[in-house]
């Protein structure tokens, strides 16, 4: 085993990136903004989510190939530019059709980001000889992201209380992303992953990387691993924002004297801020300890299988609890879903990184995110339609039933070998 990784300057840059990336002040309120500020139905909200996931799917692999061939740092800067444009467009959009515009830019930001920054982290670990510590290192940096979300939730709640307007959080999100843009520009050039000392033209570089990616993805076990990691992430992305609806319903259970002193909106804002603050600190702790928990299992494959099945069953229980009026239990179970995703994600990404050649890693991670986007698009639209018909709880439980049927197809074998292809 190599020496224990050090918390050097680049480590803190990676962590700060994650912290700033999650200063999306609109995230704890996005569903409420769509429902109340933009006056959308659940079906329209599900459609917007699906549009974002589908567009991200379309651009995912091309962006991953661009990152591998032209440079990851430049690709990340493009991503942040698209995000900042989307924040401004979300603020001004007032109808479903106009909201498609910022959704497009947000999808482009996601497509150019997913997989790219992780590939930079793994490139750095390789340069330091710390490749065998991917789970621990990525878990540490991801914990900063979740900690950033926790702080962001409190800041967002304060901003909404002061401005009396949910919509204003889109504008405030522009500030930390501007700082993050500058931070990314300071990353060392060698992390960009551009192939040096070659006279290949850009066209042949794209073709080379694409050929290597397709060859690796054709292996059944590799494809199964990617689907295993992507399946729960797709469900997580499609369902996580419904926690806001569940939290807002707690207002109805508040004592009359509290409701008379404060408006329902003020109570909802405080509840969401506090619960998301606690939630993201739990997920930060989960990410940071993924390596310790993973080491207690015989293999990473068993670890991923166990958490996938547990997550699906927890999601079903959360949806049914909400439908049966057990709001408090439903919130606890939803929190568990988010914790499970943050226990799975670092291990899943590290497992993929161990299985594929680092030269095509950004492409492969983008492909995994692409599959997750397809799953998220289908589930988002389905949950949205059925939420209008039966309520959010039954819709989420139904989605989990579908995932349960798919589980045997993505279940990984117990044996696990680090086989680079």
- From 193, 54, 53, select the one nearest 117 (Cα to Cα): 193
What is the 8-class DSSP label of residue 359? G
Fold of 9-410: Growth Hormone; Chain: A; (1.20.1250)
270/375 Cα distance (integer angstroms): 32
Q: How far apart are CA 9 and CA 128, in angstroms?
A: 13
The Cα 294–Cα 343 span in angstroms is 9
Please give the Cα distance from 23 to 334 (Å, whole number): 21
Closest CA relative to residue 13, chosen from 159, 149, 185, 162: 185
Residue reference for tokens 């606690």: 278
* Per-position pLDDT tens, the chain of length 421: 456 777 888 888 989 998 999 899 988 888 888 988 888 999 999 999 999 988 887 887 676 666 666 678 888 888 899 999 999 999 999 899 999 999 999 999 988 887 678 778 888 888 888 777 777 787 778 778 878 888 898 898 888 888 878 888 999 999 999 999 999 989 888 877 665 444 455 555 555 555 555 554 445 456 788 888 888 888 988 988 888 888 887 765 555 445 555 566 677 778 888 888 888 877 777 767 776 777 777 788 888 899 999 999 999 999 999 999 888 899 899 889 988 888 888 788 778 777 766 666 666 776 777 788 889 889 999 999 999 999 999 999 999 999 999 999 888 876 544 443 3
Domain boundaries, the chain: 9-410
């Amino acid at each position: 085993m190599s020496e224990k990784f050090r918390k050097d300057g680049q480590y803190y840059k990676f962590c700060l990136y994650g912290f700033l990336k999650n200063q999306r002040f609109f995230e704890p309120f996005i569903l409420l903004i769509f429902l109340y500020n933009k006056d959308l139905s659940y079906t329209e909200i599900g459609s917007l989510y699906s549009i974002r996931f589908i567009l991200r799917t379309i651009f995912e692999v091309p962006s991953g190939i661009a990152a591998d061939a032209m440079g990851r740092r430049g690709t990340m800067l493009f991503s942040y530019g698209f995000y900042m444009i989307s924040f401004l467009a979300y603020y001004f959009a007032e109808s479903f059709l106009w909201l498609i515009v910022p959704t497009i830019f947000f999808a482009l930001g996601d497509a150019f980001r997913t997989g790219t920054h992780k590939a930079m982290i793994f490139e750095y670990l390789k340069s330091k000889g710390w490749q065998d510590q991917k789970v621990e290192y990525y878990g540490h940096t991801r914990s900063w992201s979740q900690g950033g979300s926790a702080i962001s939730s409190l800041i967002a709640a304060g901003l909404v209380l002061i401005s009396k307007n949910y919509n204003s959080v889109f504008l405030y999100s522009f500030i930390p992303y501007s700082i993050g843009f500058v931070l990314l520009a300071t990353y060392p050039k060698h992390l960009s992953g551009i192939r040096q000392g070659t006279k290949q033209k850009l066209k042949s570089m794209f073709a080379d990387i694409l050929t290597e990616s397709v060859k690796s993805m054709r292996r059944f076990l590799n494809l199964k691993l990617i689907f295993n990691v992507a399946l729960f992430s797709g469900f997580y992305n499609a369902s996580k924002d419904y926690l806001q609806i569940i939290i807002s319903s707690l207002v109805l259970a508040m004592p009359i004297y509290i409701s008379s002193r404060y408006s329902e909106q003020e109570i909802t804002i405080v509840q969401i801020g506090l619960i998301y603050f606690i939630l993201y600190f739990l997920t930060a702790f989960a990410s940071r300890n993924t390596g310790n928990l993973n080491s207690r299992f015989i293999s990473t494959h068993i670890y991923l299988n166990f958490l996938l099945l547990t997550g699906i069953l927890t999601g079903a229980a959360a949806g049914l609890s909400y439908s049966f009026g057990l709001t408090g239990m439903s919130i606890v179970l939803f929190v568990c879903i988010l914790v499970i995703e943050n226990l799975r994600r670092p291990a899943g990404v590290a497992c993929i990184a161990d299985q594929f050649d680092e030269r095509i890693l950004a492409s492969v991670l983008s492909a995994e995110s692409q599959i997750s986007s397809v799953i998220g698009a289908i589930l988002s639209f389905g949950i949205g339609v059925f939420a209008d018909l039966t309520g959010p709880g039954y819709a989420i439980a139904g989605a989990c039933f579908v995932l349960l049927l798919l589980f045997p197809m993505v279940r990984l074998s117990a044996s696990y070998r680090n086989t680079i292809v």
